[in-house]
Amino acid sequence: MQQRSAVSWPGLVGFALLVLPGRVVADHSLYTLDWENKSQVLEYRSCGCADSCWVAELRAKKGRKLLAGLRCDCTKLWVIPGPGAKEVEYRPTCEGFDTEGKLDRITEEVRRVVNARKPAK
């Protein structure tokens, strides 16, 4: 004779989906990426599309002011080139950011955006 459990697996899964909706479906945690200027922080989070939607923001540590941003909306790459600037299309695709070294590639591109706005010496 086999003993039956009082809890059914379908019931347990259904309960988990009701109680933990954001945790079960997706994790859009905020990650801090390496950045050389210690008065600034480069943050990354995914937003969907199997990690093809993501946002990277460079912020001042003090006051959290947005200094630059890079975003992929699953299709196009968008940029906020500097403080107070409007977001504009940067590239027609996000190609090249879906590789194994994605976070390093994002850091390099944010660095390129920041350096492009500095005056030539």
Q: What is the pLDDT of residues 61-86, one digit of tens each?
A: 999 999 999 999 999 999 999 999 99
| Residue 113 reports pLDDT greater than 80 | yes
Specify the number of domains making up the chain: 1
In a domain, 76, yes or no: yes
pLDDT of residue 98: 85
pLDDT of residue 10: 56
Provide the domain limits for residue 42: 27-116
In a domain, 44, yes or no: yes
pTM over 0.85: no
Q: What's the CA gap between 74 and 93, in Å, rounded? A: 8
In a domain, 92, yes or no: yes
Q: What's the CA gap between 74 and 66, in Å, rounded? A: 22
In a domain, 14, yes or no: no
Residues 6+ apart with CB under 8 A from 114: 58, 67, 68
Higher pLDDT, 2 or 73: 73
In a domain, 3, yes or no: no
pLDDT tens-digit profile of 11-59? Answer: 544 544 444 444 444 567 899 999 999 999 999 999 988 889 999 999 9
